[in-house]
Every structure is written in structure tokens, then in C-alpha cells.
């Protein structure tokens, strides 16, 4: 017959192995097919039959055989499995590893995921194979287990619409300690607390248990706990791509919550590492887009969200986040359209409800419509564990913008029951009371109580003192009004006493008190009193009175230019301020004249002082006004070079010098009156 192909023993073993399992696998339950493609790790495929119909519900099988080997003394059949084969099989659900022991005529088996778990727990690194101790035999009981497991796991995936993260958890989760009823309850009812209660205290959790526990914490928005579960696994030297994906999501959400963009950047790196060389599914695009959204890369995020939607158009969160991107770049119509699509898919998606509420309030100026959505979100949050803190805040803000101030305060107080002492809610309440106390006596009483408590905690809170002073003045509570003003003066160590202020117009006093912190900052850089002392040897009373006139002038200037500072109105404000300064020079010259005349003994001395005042008063006034303008404009960010250009082009300098003659005349007249006496 000539030379013919040799039948090698290994080929015969493969044939014998397949025939053996074919004889064991019941044909009424399974279709067994040989894999005809390249041998990368799958030798045959097992498809379940249900009620006489093929289902396409399958399990991949790696089939090996072994001669002249028996159970060891511990009752195990040990076999070195190739690690690359186990990794390959782990990419599909319910893969199985079979070994036919020819000497015993027995088929041993194990779930691929269980073998992978043991490999991950091993301390050996860099090896190509792992010796696994098989003990399960392919008997009738095992056949039933395999059939039900493959069928049930497939039903969970189909019925619950699992995403790739959840599929990864399920693929890892093949242990006798976890029931599928519990998984079904978890995915259907979002009962993460029960999952955490069952798994959090396990000493040596499996990969599946770690995946499920970390994902449960993640879905409960407890990002730190989710991260700790994964880090404990990684600290043992293990790594898993499903866990890396969950870890990337945790870093992203944690970074967003803590406003830490470095965490989000780390999330992108982890995500890229997990997907290195793999095909991206819709959830991979979605998660990566979330990271771009957090980093402000809105166009890149839109591109990734659209790629996710091409694969899966039924994910509400993708539509919601795409809406956020469109909102950020000013495409509000598209944003509302995406939000509506998200809420059609999932009417209880709380993030979409909150985003739509914020846009109704801020874009469409419909705060009361937003309140309705915040109420809806609140009901959902109580059932899901979503952080209600932000909902209380945003609902209160919506009431405030609708001028429903008492409702806003009531909502904040409800929030403070859940979150006692919360910084943001407390500050919002104080802000509302500060702005609206004058509209309602109830709000005024609340303001007195809350700002008084604020001062007990923070005695140097000057804003609280200002508001209380204004309320006490309106209520004609003179005693408390004066006490509060004293506290303001003492805090900044101003040299005035209360009597100095009471002599002035009450409106001027309020300009002074409202800007007392600004005046204090200005006086650190411009000590007018010190200059007057050196020139005139003034006593404290005279110096304080002069400084108070100029301090009110500065407060008035700051109040005016702080409201609106631009090219058109700035010079007009300066003109008015100069005229105000000339008016202030009248009492200043009077004070100086009286002070000087009290020391004069002869008409010659009086004449000398007249000349001195004629020179000094306008110089002091113009000098002080110049510094006031420069300082106020500087701290408000006005471009000084632009100021110089405007003044030059408008020829204001010559006008101002012409006006400065007036205080010279005023000073001379005041001194002349004294001279005549």
C-alpha cells in the first residue's frame, strides 16, 4: 500500500475522549458538537435542548485525556491546565474543563471560572500552567447541575439585560455559597444591601464575590468601600480585567464627587489598561465618555456616547449624559431631546430627572416646574440610597428663585434633619435670609436667630454682624443696633466711637458699616491719619473725624463701582466721586481751621495758616481721592492702563485740576471767618 499517514496516539486519545463524553451526555438534554475551527482552547460545544427544541444556549468545553494516572492519596485527580487556555475560556459564560482518565474510564470536570479563581489565588507568578486538583466526575448528578446552571445563567442575562460589568461579575460568580435567586433579586430589585450583608464579612472571598461586592457598593454610591474591596484583592498580587473596569468607574465617580480631576485622569488610564487589545462594547464607550465629560472634553464625550448608542440605543444613562454634554456647549434643544429619550426608556432614572429639573430652572426659567421633578427624585432617592443632600439643596434653590422664600427655608430645614450641620444647606439658608429677611417678619426673626447663632460659632463673621445691624435698625431696636456697630468697630480696631457715627446721616453710617471690611483693607495701604498728624499735629478727636469723612467717601465709591465696572460708566463715576470729595473737603477744612485757630496767638500766625491751608486742603483731598480710585479699581480688576488711556483721551485731568480750586477757596473762607472773629 505504500507509505500512509500514521495514526498517532494523541489523535486516538482525542477521538476516544470525544466518544466517551458523547456516550455520557444525554442526547435529550444536549447537542454535542466538535469545534471545527482552529484549536485555541475550545474542543467542543455543548448546546442545551429544551422541550425538544434547540436553544442556542451554549457552553464551551476544553477536552483533555490522560493515560496511566489515578487519584492521589487525597482523592484528587491532578492535572496541569494551560493558563492561556483558562483565560481564553473565561471570555464566555459557563465554560467547562473536562479530562478523560483512560486508565479509570472516568471523566473529571470543573467550571473554568473555578479553576481561574484558584489560579488567581496562587502565589506563583510567571508560570504557563497550573496544577488543578479535579474531583468532580461527569455523572448524572453533574449533568443535571451543568444543564441547570447554563440555562439559569443565560436566563438571568437575557431577562435582566446585564451590561458588560454585570456579565463579568456573573461569569466570575460560580460558587456554591451564592444562590441564583439572590442574584436575580439583586438585579431586579436593586437590593444591594442584602448582597453587601451576605458578602462583606467573608474571609477569603472568591473573584466572583469580590466583583459582586465592589459593584454593589458602587451602585450604592459608596465609592470608597467599593475601592477598598478591589484594592484588597489587588494587594494580594491578583488582577482581573472586569475588576479593573469597575475600578475605573469608581475612580471616575469618586473624582467627580470630590471635584478631583486627577482621579478622573487616573480612571482613564485604568480603563485603557483594562481594554488593551480588546474590542470595546457600548458600556466601554459609555464609561470612557463619562471620564471625558468630567474633564470637560465635551466634544470627545459626545463622540463616545454616540458610539455607545450605535451599539445600544436603550441605555437611559447614555442619553442622559449626552444631554449633559449638549447643555455644556449651549445646545439646549438637543439636551432636552436627549433627556426626554432617557426618561422614556427609564422614567425613574434619577440623574436624568435631576438634570432636567436644573435645566427647567436655569434655562427655561421655570423653577416651580423644577420643584415637581425634585419631589419625584426625592421619592426615588429614598428607595435607592441616592444622596439626597443635593436634591434638598437644588429644590430649595428652585423655591428661592421662584420667590417662595418660606418654602425654600422649610425645605432646607427638612434637609438638615437628614444631614445635621451640612455646610451647603446651612450656607444656602443664611444666604436666603440675608437677601430676603426684609420681605417677611418671619424671615426677619429667623435671620436674627440664625445669624446670632452664627456669631456664637464664628465671632469674627463680619457679614453676620452687618446683617444683624441692618435688621435691628429697621426694627428700631436702638440698643442692639448700637451694640452690633460697636462689635464691628472693635473687630477692625477703628478709632471711632459710637458717638462719632451717630452724629452722621444714618444712610451714610450704613454705607460705612456695609463696607467696613473693605475700608479696613484700604486703610492698611493708605493711612491718611498718619499724614495729617505729621502735618498738623492733630489731636485724636480731630484726626478721627476727618478720617471718618473720607472712609464714608471710599465706601460710597466702592459700592458704586462694585455693582458695574466698565468703560462706559467708569469715568462718570470718577467725576461724581471727585465732586463728592470736594464736598467732603468743606468739613475737613473747617476741622483743620478750628484746630489751627485754637493754637494761634497773633494775626501773623493766622495769616501763615491761611496760606498753609490754601495749599494743603486740596492736596489732601485730591491725593486721598486719587488713592481711593486706584485702590478700589485695582482690587476689582480694572485695567489701570485702560484707565490712563480713558483719562488722557477725555482730557479729564485738566478738568479735575480746575475743580480743585474750589476746596482752596473753601479752606480760605473758613479760615478767614475765624480770623475775623
Alpha-carbon torsion, ordered 426, 432, 433, 438, to 10 deg: 180
pLDDT in tens, 408-451: 999 999 999 999 989 999 999 999 999 999 999 999 999 999 99
Cell numbers of 16, please?
Answer: 476516544
Phi-psi category of residue 272: left, alpha or beta, with phi > 0 → left and psi -120 to 50 → alpha: alpha
The ranges of the chain with pLDDT < 50 are 1-2, 4-8, 160-161, 174-180, 646-647, 649-651, 653, 674-675
CA 230, 232, 235, 237 dihedral sign is: negative
**So what's the pLDDT on residue 295?**
92
Domain ranges of the chain: 9-148, 163-278, 526-677
pLDDT at 494: 79
pLDDT at res. 547: 77
| pLDDT at residue number 175 | 42
CATH architecture of the domain with residue range 163-278: Alpha Horseshoe (1.25)
The CATH code of domain 9-148 reads 3.40.1350.10
In the prediction, which pLDDT does 641 show? 55
Q: How far is CA 124 from CA 65, 104, 129, 167, 237, in A?
A: 25, 31, 10, 28, 10
**pLDDT value of residue 669:** 58
- Residue range 599-625, pLDDT digits in tens: 555 666 656 655 565 555 656 666 676
**CA torsion sign, 134 to 139 to 140 to 141?**
negative
> What pLDDT, on a 0 to 100 scale, did the predictor assign at position 510?
76
Contact 395, 374 (CB under 8 A): yes
Contacts of residue 261, defined as CB under 8 A and 6 or more positions apart, other chains included, come to: 255, 294, 295
208 near 113, Cβ under 8 Å?
A: yes
Q: What residues contact residue 439 under an 8 Å CB cut-off, 6+ apart?
A: 405
Chain segment 103-115, per-residue pLDDT in tens: 888 999 998 888 8
Amino acid at each position: 500500500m505504500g507509505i500512509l499517514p500514521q495514526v498517532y496516539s494523541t489523535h486516538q486519545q482525542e477521538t476516544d475522549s470525544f466518544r466517551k463524553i458523547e456516550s455520557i451526555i444525554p442526547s435529550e438534554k444536549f447537542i454535542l458538537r466538535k469545534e471545527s475551527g482552529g484549536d485555541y482552547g475550545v474542543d467542543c460545544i455543548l448546546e442545551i435542548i429544551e422541550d425538544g427544541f434547540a436553544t442556542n444556549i451554549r457552553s464551551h468545553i476544553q477536552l483533555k485525556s490522560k493515560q496511566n494516572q489515578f487519584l492521589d492519596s487525597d482523592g484528587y485527580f491532578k492535572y496541569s491546565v494551560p493558563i492561556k487556555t483558562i483565560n481564553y475560556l473565561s471570555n464566555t459564560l459557563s465554560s467547562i474543563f473536562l479530562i478523560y482518565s483512560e486508565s479509570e474510564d472516568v471523566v473529571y470536570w470543573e467550571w473554568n471560572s473555578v479553576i481561574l479563581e484558584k489560579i488567581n489565588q496562587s502565589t506563583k507568578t510567571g508560570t504557563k500552567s497550573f496544577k488543578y486538583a479535579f474531583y468532580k466526575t461527569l455523572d448524572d448528578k453533574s449533568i443535571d447541575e451543568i444543564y441547570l446552571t447554563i440555562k439559569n445563567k443565560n436566563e438571568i442575562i437575557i431577562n435582566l439585560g446585564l451590561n458588560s460589568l454585570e456579565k463579568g461579575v456573573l461569569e466570575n460568580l460560580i460558587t456554591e455559597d451564592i444562590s441564583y435567586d439572590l442574584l436575580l433579586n439583586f438585579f431586579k430589585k436593586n437590593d444591594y444591601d442584602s448582597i453587601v450583608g451576605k458578602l462583606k464579612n467573608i474571609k477569603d472571598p472568591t473573584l466572583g464575590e469580590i466583583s459582586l461586592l465592589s459593584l454593589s457598593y458602587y451602585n450604592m454610591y459608596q465609592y470608597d468601600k467599593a475601592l477598598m474591596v478591589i484594592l484588597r484583592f489587588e494587594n494580594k498580587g491578583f488582577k482581573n480585567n472586569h475588576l479593573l473596569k469597575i475600578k475605573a468607574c469608581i475612580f471616575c465617580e469618586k473624582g467627580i464627587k470630590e471635584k478631583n480631576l486627577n482621579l478622573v485622569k487616573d480612571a482613564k488610564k485604568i480603563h485603557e489598561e483594562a481594554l488593551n487589545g480588546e474590542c470595546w462594547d457600548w458600556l466601554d464607550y459609555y464609561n470612557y465618555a463619562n471620564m471625558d465629560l468630567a474633564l470637560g472634553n465635551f466634544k470627545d464625550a459626545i463622540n463616545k456616547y454616540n458610539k455607545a448608542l450605535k451599539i445600544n440605543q436603550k441605555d437611559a444613562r447614555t442619553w442622559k449624559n449626552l444631554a449633559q454634554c449638549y447643555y455644556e456647549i449651549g445646545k439646549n434643544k438637543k439636551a432636552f431631546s436627549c433627556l426626554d429619550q432617557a426618561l422614556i426608556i427609564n422614567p425613574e432614572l434619577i440623574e436624568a430627572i435631576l438634570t432636567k429639573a436644573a435645566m427647567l430652572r436655569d434655562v427655561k426659567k421655570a423653577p416651580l416646574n423644577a420643584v415637581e421633578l425634585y419631589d419625584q427624585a426625592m421619592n426615588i432617592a429614598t428607595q435607592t440610597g441616592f444622596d439626597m443632600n443635593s436634591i434638598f439643596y437644588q429644590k430649595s434653590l428652585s423655591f428661592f428663585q421662584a420667590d417662595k422664600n418660606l418654602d425654600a427655608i422649610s425645605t432646607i430645614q427638612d434637609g438638615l434633619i437628614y444631614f445635621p450641620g451640612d455646610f451647603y444647606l446651612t450656607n444656602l439658608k443664611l444666604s436666603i435670609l440675608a437677601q430676603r429677611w426684609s420681605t417677611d417678619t418671619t424671615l426677619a426673626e429667623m435671620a436674627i436667630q440664625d445669624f446670632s447663632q452664627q456669631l456664637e460659632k464664628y465671632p469674627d463673621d463680619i457679614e453676620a454682624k452687618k446683617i444683624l445691624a441692618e435688621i435691628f435698625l429697621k426694627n428700631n431696636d436702638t440698643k442692639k443696633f448700637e451694640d452690633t456697630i460697636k462689635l464691628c468697630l472693635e473687630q477692625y480696631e477703628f478709632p471711632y466711637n459710637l458717638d462719632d457715627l451717630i452724629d452722621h446721616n444714618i444712610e451714610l453710617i450704613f454705607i460705612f458699616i456695609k463696607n467696613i471690611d473693605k475700608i479696613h483693607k484700604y486703610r492698611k495701604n493708605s493711612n491718611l491719619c498718619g499724614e495729617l498728624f505729621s502735618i498738623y499735629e492733630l489731636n485724636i478727636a480731630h484726626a478721627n473725624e476727618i478720617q471718618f469723612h473720607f472712609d464714608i467717601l471710599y465706601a460710597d465709591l466702592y459700592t458704586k463701582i462694585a455693582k458695574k465696572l466698565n468703560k462706559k460708566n467708569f469715568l462718570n463715576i470718577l467725576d461724581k466721586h471727585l465732586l463728592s470729595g470736594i464736598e467732603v473737603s468743606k468739613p475737613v477744612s473747617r476741622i483743620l481751621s478750628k484746630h489751627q485757630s485754637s493754637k494761634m496767638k497773633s494775626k501773623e500766625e493766622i495769616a501763615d495758616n491761611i496760606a498753609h491751608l490754601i495749599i494743603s486742603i486740596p492736596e489732601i483731598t485730591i491725593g486721598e481721592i486719587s488713592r481711593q480710585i486706584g485702590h478700589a479699581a485695582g482690587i476689582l480688576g480694572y485695567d489701570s492702563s485702560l484707565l490712563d488711556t480713558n483719562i488722557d483721551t477725555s482730557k479729564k485731568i485738566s478738568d479735575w485740576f480746575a475743580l480743585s480750586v474750589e476746596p482752596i477757596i473753601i479752606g480760605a473762607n473758613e479760615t478767614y471767618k475765624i480770623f475775623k472773629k
